[in-house]
Amino acid sequence: MHGLKKGILSFAESDPAWPRLFQEEKTRLLRGLDRQDLTLDHIGSTAVPGLIAKPVIDMALLFRTPEELWQIATALPALGYHFRGPHTNVGHWYAVHDANQTRLFQLHIFQEGCAAYRDHIDFRDALRSDPRQLKRYAEQKLVWAEQSNWNKAVYSNCKADFVREVIAEYRSGPGDFPGPLS
């Protein structure tokens, strides 16, 4: 399954097609932006094999200069993306690709050196590298969804502390991740 009706929070089982969909969209975007030199990564839960996820492909695009950001932002509409402007962190912008009231792709656009970019990559890699942490996160996602009454904005806020904890543990080096949340 790929895509999620706008305004809805739901999860799908991990789909082996998600990495392929990312690769296809990456190729299309970089070709459409005429910028093969840009870094474009698959992030979010669809980038972690075996993890339940909102079936929307999240991507992280890095740019270096304000001119590059302007070029990207002005090219995105021709590629079906709505550039929504600054996101929650300094150095972080956001664009979405929807079709028929269904969100298909979310593009996070980061200025090179933005800490939020590294956080997304490290969180993804932490979940990919530790099956216990992946299981813990999958279980918590369902708890947070219930606690938030399946509200996307509230759900996102619920997981913030967990994400920070996982990133800090991952960056501290090898060792055991903590047990279940209390």
Q: For 120-167, what is each residue's pLDDT tens digit?
A: 999 999 999 999 999 999 999 999 999 999 988 899 889 999 999 999
Q: Report pLDDT for 96.
A: 97
Single-letter code of the amino acid located at 93: W
Task: Identify each DSSP E strand in the chain by its residue range.
Answer: 4-5, 40-43, 57-63, 81-86, 92-99, 102-111
Rg (CA), the chain: 16
Q: Report pLDDT for 4.
A: 87
β-partners of residue 42 are 59
In total, the chain counts a number of residues equal to: 182
- Token reading at 88: 């929650």
Residue 111, pLDDT > 50, answer yes
List of residues 6+ apart from 40 with CB closer than 8 A:
26, 29, 30, 59, 60, 61, 62
Q: Report pLDDT for 6.
A: 80
Q: For 1-50, what is each residue's pLDDT tens digit?
A: 688 888 889 999 999 999 999 999 999 999 999 988 999 999 999 999 99
Q: For 42-80, what is each residue's pLDDT tens digit?
A: 999 999 999 999 999 999 999 999 999 999 999 999 999
Are the C-beta atoms of 94 and 108 separated by less than 8 Å? yes
Domain 4-171 in this protein, CATH class: alpha beta
Are the C-beta atoms of 104 and 98 separated by less than 8 Å? yes
